[in-house]
Amino acid sequence: MSTTVDLVDTLDRWEASGGHWRVLTERPDQLVFGLFTCDGGEQMSQVAGARTQALETFLAGRLRSDD
């Protein structure tokens, strides 16, 4: 499983390259994300990580990259 720093970096790089991400599963201590193609149609991968302050700061309340 990814560390939080790696997870934030992964989501940021995915979005910067034109892909979309969205939260698939929310748990009190963990979030699971789907990584989708640039048109949002096909899930290419899935990543999960602890719900830390660094991740919450990156998300800023968003549940998907296009929020």
Which pLDDT value is given to residue 4? 55
Domain count, the chain: 1
Query: Is 67 within the bounds of a domain?
Result: no
Could you report the per-residue pLDDT of 43-57, keeping only the tens digit for each? 999 999 999 999 999
- Residue range of the domain that includes 48: 4-59
pTM: 0.88
Could you give the CA distance from residue 63 to residue 61 in angstroms, rounded to a whole number? 7
Query: Is 37 within the bounds of a domain?
Result: yes
Amino acid in the structure at residue 2: S
Q: Is-contact 57 65, C-beta < 8 A?
A: no
DSSP letter, residue 29: S
